[in-house]
């Protein structure tokens, strides 16, 4: 069965500093990996995805994520955090057959001014 782990419930970072939100996964076959963000009182929004190709993928709002097959990780990164980045971030995985979407438990990011 597929699974996603986000080892940190909460990440605090100062505005302007780099941020990392961690994600590790377990899936049979080649993984399709995603990051979504949930702002207060708003729906989930897609940030970026890894399907194949370059291990470093770029997404919305200046975010990027690095796929590491040997470590089964897909960490979300941003070079310089903004206060407006404060939100709940979810990592997700699906199998190559298009089924079995699984979301992680989420990591709350707080960017402090």
Partner 1 sequence: EAGVAQSPRYKIIEKRQSVAFWCNPISGHATLYWYQQILGQGPKLLIQFQNNGVVDDSQLPKDRFSAERLKGVDSTLKIQPAKLEDSAVYLCASSPGGWRGNRGEQFFGPGTRLTVL
The closest alpha carbon to 21, from 64, 58, 84, belongs to 64
Residues in 6-35 that interact with partner 1 by CB under 8 A: 32, 34
For residues 101 and 40, give the distance between their C-alpha atoms in angstroms, rounded to a whole number.
23
The single residue among 13, 24, 90, 111 that binds partner 1, judged by CB under 8 A, is: 90
Contact status, residue 27 vs residue 93, Cβ threshold 8 Å: yes
Q: Which stretch binds partner 1 (CB under 8 A): 12-20, 38-46, 61-69, 75-83?
A: 38-46
Q: Which stretch binds partner 1 (CB under 8 A): 12-20, 61-69, 74-82, 86-94?
A: 86-94
Nearer to partner 1, 36 or 74 (CB): 36
Radius of gyration (C-alpha) of the chain in whole angstroms: 13
The closest alpha carbon to 16, from 64, 80, 78, 61, belongs to 80
Question: Residue numbers of the site for partner 1 (CB under 8 A)?
Answer: 4, 32, 34, 36, 42-46, 49, 51, 90, 92, 94, 97-106
């Amino acid at each position: 069965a597929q699974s996603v782990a986000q080892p940190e419930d909460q990440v605090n970072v100062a505005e302007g500093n780099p941020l990392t939100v961690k994600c590790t996964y377990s899936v049979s076959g080649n993984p399709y990996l995603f990051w979504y963000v949930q702002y207060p009182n708003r729906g989930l929004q897609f940030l970026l995805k890894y399907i194949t190709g370059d291990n470093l993928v770029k997404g919305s709002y200046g975010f990027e994520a690095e796929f590491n097959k040997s470590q089964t990780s897909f960490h979300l990164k941003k070079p310089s955090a903004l206060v407006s980045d404060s939100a709940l971030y979810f990592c997700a995985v699906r199998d190559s057959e298009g089924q079995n979407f699984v979301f992680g438990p989420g990591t709350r990011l707080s960017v402090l001014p």
